[in-house]
Structure 1
Amino acid sequence: MPLENYFQSLQPNGFDISVRHEIISEILKFCCRFDPLLSYLAVNYLDRFLSSQGMLQPKPWIPSLLAISCISLAAKMMKAEVSLVDFQGDGGFIFDPQTIERMEILILGALKWRMRSITPFSFISYYMSLFQLQDPSLWQSLKARATEIIIKSQNDIKLLEFKPSIIAASALLYAAHELLPLQYPFFRKAIFCSSYANKENLLQCYNAMQDIVMDGYVSVFDQASSSITPVSVLKQQFSSSEYGETDGTTPTTTIRSAEMRDVKRRKIINYCDNLTIQVNFSDSTMLRKARFQS
């Protein structure tokens, strides 16, 4: 894990966090066709390096060099065949092998050559064994969804303060709540009884992860709305021009965007709640809605 003060050092809307997002975006874009562990390891090395060294000189090529070097180190640890030429073939910066190697050595020194990172994936199989699932297809679906949530959540700084075991448990519980709501109470009880799960930390991590996933749903909702109802775009432009807000960066616009985002989140949550009720009645099953409460 990164050093303890790393989470506090990443201020929202600050330079460091924006550069971190840029580097992680490059890592995820390249690693999407490989094992999820590759991108997770690369980002893990990045966070541990930045927590030890801080952000390097603000050069335009630094993010790309850090991204490719972290990917290279992760690939070597996994013994994965990764062509770094492909990574540099999208019109960006081109680095010779010697430059990449020097950055790798710098990262290795900051990490004190401790490359065998413990990740949430190390705990997935253990937690899933507690669920006692008999159907292999359900097992695979639950594991795949939990993996997707873990990868998506890694970009958010809120999860940096949680241990890998807590992140794995939270992702599996959230996936179970989505895919297997009838069995969710049993899964929750099984994980709470585990020696790896601290209930208080698990609650905090689960709630943070819920916000991250819901933000993703809101983004999809935004895209669908903009493509289906172009009139709303004209309405937004008219509203902005009425108050003289033409650049889209004024505080009023920011407040409106935040309010609209909250409204959309509530709509999505209400839709999911209604859908759950319909499924329960159609199955003639009395199910108390699973909510994650302390």
Structure 2
Amino acid sequence: MASENKNSPLLYLQLFAGMALFGSATPLSKIVGEGFPVFTASLMRMGLAALVLAPFVIPRLGELKKASASDWRAMAFIALFGMVGFTATMLFGMRLASGVVGATVMSMTPAVTALAAFLFLKESYNATKSTALALAVAGAITINIFNGGSGESGMAMVWGSLLVFAAVCFEAGYTLLAKTVSDALSALSISFAASVMAIPVFLLLALLFDPDGLTVSGANTGHWAALAFWGAITAGLAPVIWYTGVRQAPGALAAGFMAVMPVSALVGSYLLLDESFRGAHLAGFGLVFAGVLLMVREHMQGMKED
């Protein structure tokens, strides 16, 4: 039964949907960062995520009560990397970089995650997996390579790109950390616990470093709408979908699907930030999904052999 679950179309749908929703966080981060102080926005994001997850988690609090010390340690690191680190570096980075540049840097997520899986989880590698990852990364870079007209200064763009790359590293870290938590804990419980643990951290950071404390007077309706989706969906719903899939999938398969994230980020930049669409990006879309399909095929083949 476990093998069937790991080879289910639902698994691939979960991985795809989770990354597509995570990708939307890139353009949304730019909108939110323009309307709110960084740590105040992050605090509200975690609060919204916890509120969305609470009705589903409260009936199963017994899971968390039975969590081991190692589980709590892993969830604390998920909160540190995936909630605090990822959210803050993405917000600061997207204040400086354009949506297209942010998506370009996010395209490195599959490679960074696959490398981390190989180095820290000792997962096997072969030529097919390497080719699939290369296609996915090459496609994601291709669709973002033309980024003219963004208007950001050169050094601001460099610093923004470095901060977004830091977010990529945090993303890879907490994706792999999710695989270390006991199977007795559901994705809902993990996401809820990590969100709650991040709230006091962001509250302290907001009081210490945000201008004028928890001020939100500069936000308009668009900023609030972006914050609501960013918190409830990309921080509340998306981690549950992604964690549910990634805990059943090898790190390399998860890394292949992570190429969907920069594609989603780029499309969101077109739609939400009015950045220019270029025909050359179509070739990149083909490469990205060719890489994802090749990784899925390799995974299915491996399941048959097992």
TM-score above 0.5, yes or no: no
TM-score by length of 1: 0.26
Q: Of the two, which has the highest radius of gyration?
A: 1
Greater RCO, CA 8 A, separation 6+: 2
Name the structure where helix makes up a greater proportion of residues: 2
TM-score by length of 2: 0.26
